[in-house]
Chains A and B, each alone.
Chain A
Amino acid sequence: MNWLDQHTLALIFAGLTAFSILLYAMLDGYDLGVGITLPMNNEAWRDTSIASIGPFWDANETWLVLAVGLLLVAFPAAHSAILKALYLPASFLLIGLILRGVAFDFRAKVKPEHKLRWDWVFKIGSIIASFSQGFMLGLYVVGLEYTYLNVVFALFSGFCVTAAYALIGNAWLILKTTDEIQLHAIKRCRQSGMLAFFGILAVSLINPIVNVNVLNVWTSPPFAYFFAIIPITCFAMFAIGYKVLKDLPLEDDQGAGLPFLMSCVIFFTSFVGLALSFYPYVVPNQLTIYQAASSAESLNIIFIGAVFVVPVIAAYTVFAYFTFRGKADELKYY
């Protein structure tokens, strides 16, 4: 029955958990981002923005459940250590997600005069959720200790992640909208891209300074040369993206998908960069994935299921995105 040993399983499940977190950040990232920059002075734009994420947001949030679930079942000691240390910001994250999730449905069903109220709830909920995630990430990076400096760093990280979500959210809107709202999204995308750029740059510089291990990963040859591809790709995306956003929109809506694609690359490289910095630790400098992994028997049984089910999930997710391809204003409820 146990045809994979503990070591291999720990690595596989660390990979699966990381994959879920990354997908969550990209997918819920764009729908949170749409919420963060929801234009409060234009109801039609709000309707279109929200229609663009309508068919997807439920499934996007499920990646968070999977990520936290995998952490819980595969690395229970890490789940408890990380989320206990992040108990308060995690609670704010949950409150934010609750508020925006229900606002999404209430806004379409309440009296017209109350719609604006729920739009605000949607926007503020999205901001709270994004900021909390950034705060949690920041505190994680500096070792889950609430010192004065760490909290300042975590707050800064909160801003960065919010900006990064706004970036990918507006990139999504460029892909899914036309005309004025698209122009508006291009402008917003450029602004949030700037903020995200400086944020990622700052974290990349601060992280090796506070963590000796991280410095080693990025400076010890021969791997360091190879790893250099990651930050270079990431910052190249910002540079090229800046140019692309300047030129958009093009005729026949060419290149409307580029900003989103590039944002995904930015998310991917930033994430891989972080993951490399911390491997093999799951709780920074305290607990490795090999120490925290639960027993081989239960990981095996989940792994067998995952091998069969994950391709199916991937298939119907692709089907859903294919079904709702094209511009959002053509989307009709029901």
Chain B
Amino acid sequence: MDALILSRIQFAANISFHILFPTITIALGWLLFYFKLRFNFSGHPVWMRAYRFWVKVFALSFAMGVVSGITMSFQFGTNWPGYMESVGNIAGPLLAYEILTAFFLEATMLGIMLFGSNRVPSWVHTLATFLVAFGTTMSAFWILALNSWMQTPDGFEMRDGIAHATDWFAVIFNPSFPYRLTHTLLSSGLTVCFLVAGISAYRLLYKDHKKAPRLTLKTAVITAAILAPLQAFVGDMHGLNTLEHQPAKVAAMEGLWHTVNGAPLVLFGIPDAETQTNKYALEIPGMASFILTHDFDGELKGINEFEGEHPPVAPVFFSFRVMVGIGLLMIFISWWSTATVLRKKSLSKLQLKILIGMTFSGWVATLAGWYVTEIGRQPFIVHGVVKTADAVTTIAGENVAFTLAMYISIYIVLLIAYISTIFRMAGKAVKEEEYDLTPPGLPESEKGDAQEVAA
């Protein structure tokens, strides 16, 4: 194996591990802010209990995100020196703004959010919670601006092989950015909804009779029921945008080898690059054309149009099906659970178990989605501008292989530790009495259990 493929695997491993945690912290930050606001307005301790349980998960996820993120700042230069050489004028300022406007804000405010509730007035603590959520979202804004620019570059000109920005507004708000940002933020929302629903369901299944897990479960499934169909809609628009700017990626997603009118929707199949066909294909005639061109006979370009400049079909094709499959499952499960919850009934054991099974489904869908878009951009690192192979390092393959093995083994251990710790925290919460909380001026029992809590 050469340095190119090793560097790609290493970067993919690091960024895949990293994205798991921001995906949680972006939306969980806003959920915590919501819990804190509800507590401020109602004074009901159950909101504080929900806050205190989930802020621990937030702290753990944030730490995992920070430390895996530091790795990225080193690898941009070590693994992809050619990237900064050719498009550093664009990527540099975007990354710098991310660090300056987001990283410091979230990291500093996190300290106040986690340890400061007895040291600052309540409104400052609420503000810190807001700023942490705001910071995580700002960091998504900048990094997705850069990623989108790599997919649909705009607002620049090439001089002597080096990109120079001509219009920063066009660089940041490049054609795919609004879609990608919305799609990613919604995926963070769904990931957190199913995480919260799954962990709350776990507590309920193990006979946690407290109010907090019921409340968080309800909040999570209802939010998911709104976000999941919205995500399908936004995803569709994102797909149309991709068709316009990166047709080769769409051809790979659809498993479309040859340009054709009335392309079928391949539900399942095994793409074979040798014969340029899909084996064992299960297809709906004309459906892909209908979805993408709104015409059953519309023309879709196939892989054959992009000789030497198209991504490998199979990984994009399969990842896309995993993402869409989980998305559909999320719609079905969130609606089913919401229907039950809204009829004031508690979920059945079967429903609870399904939700537990779906706890980390958002991660799988998020990763699959990123594989679609990142592998789908190949062989380019910046679409149409720089090829990945031209940006790669000259570090010896053995060194990359050695560090790759080190990173992967640590990531596996940490992932196991992370998941088991979250379930352990849930199990501990079942056995524990309610957290001792006596918010200023509000005795525990007064406004408490008799009152119905609405989500």
Contacts and interface: CB of A to CB of B under 8 A. Distances in A.
A69 B98 CA distance: 10
B67 A98 contact: yes
Contacts, number: 204
A123 interface: no
Contact of A80 (B52, B77, B104, B112): B77
Contact of A65 (B64, B69, B81, B417): B69
A127 interface: no
Nearest to B411: A98
A4 interface: no
Interface string A57-77: 011011011101111111011
Contacts of A320: 108, 111-112
A37 B221 CA distance: 47
Given A70-B96, A84-B78, A87-B395, A324 B116 contact: yes
B206 interface: no
A73 B105 CA distance: 20
B71 A74 contact: no
Contacts of A323: 112, 116, 119-120
Contacts of A87: 78, 395, 399, 403
A221 interface: no
Contacts of B96: 69-70, 73, 302, 305-306
A323 B115 CA distance: 10
Contacts of A69: 73, 95-96, 99
B81 A97 contact: no
B164 to A, nearest CB: 6
A76 B88 contact: yes
Nearest to B10: A91
B92 to A, nearest CB: 3
Interface in A275-334: 294-295, 297-298, 301-302, 305-306, 309-310, 313, 316-317, 320, 323-324, 331-334
B161 to A, nearest CB: 13
A294 B165 CA distance: 13
Q: Interface of chain B, helix or strand or loop or mixed?
A: helix
Interface residues of A, number: 60
A207 to B, nearest CB: 26
B112 A295 contact: no
Contacts of B385: none
Given A95-B410, A102-B414, A298 B109 contact: no
Contacts of A90: 74, 78
A298 B99 contact: no
B92 A74 contact: yes
Interface string B148-191: 00000000000000101100100000000000000000000000
Contacts of A331: 115
Contacts of A98: 67-68, 70-71, 410, 414
Contacts of A55: 111-112, 114-116
13 contacts: A54-B111, A55-B112, A59-B108, A61-B107, A84-B394, A88-B402, A101-B67, A105-B64, A298-B92, A309-B100, A313-B104, A316-B105, A316-B108
Interface of B: 52, 55-56, 59-60, 62-64, 66-71, 73-74, 76-78, 81, 84-85, 88-93, 95-97, 99-101, 103-105, 107-112, 114-120, 162, 164-165, 168, 393-395, 399, 402-403, 406-407, 410, 414, 417-418, 421, 424-425
